[in-house]
Amino acid sequence: MEDESGRIYAGCNVENATYGLTMCAERVAMFKAISEGARKFRRVAVVADTETLTPPCGACRQVLWEFCGDVEIVLANLAGKTETLRLGALFPRAFDGSFL
């Protein structure tokens, strides 16, 4: 995750036996950035050791939308395959504070 000043915040999956309480890398990076004072973001990179590019899960899409809005998402794998899109393309009609 890159904030508006160019600072990078890394995250990793934090998994456990219950799976439901697992924390994805995107949310780890987001929460780390927020805890360190970042408030505006340029892009989020999701890199996975998979053949198929892996987008953020639904929970991560929701958190990213609430803190970043329609941020740029870069999907990549270790073979060098990449795709860049906006979060809005992955998360149409997102729910946020404007509905409260």
Positions annotated as catalytic residues are 26
DSSP class per residue in the chain: -EETTS-B-----B--TTSTT-B-HHHHHHHHHHHTT---EEEEEEEESSSS-----HHHHHHHHHHHSS-EEEEEETTS-EEEEEHHHHSTT---GGG-
**Per this entry, what is the length of the chain?**
100
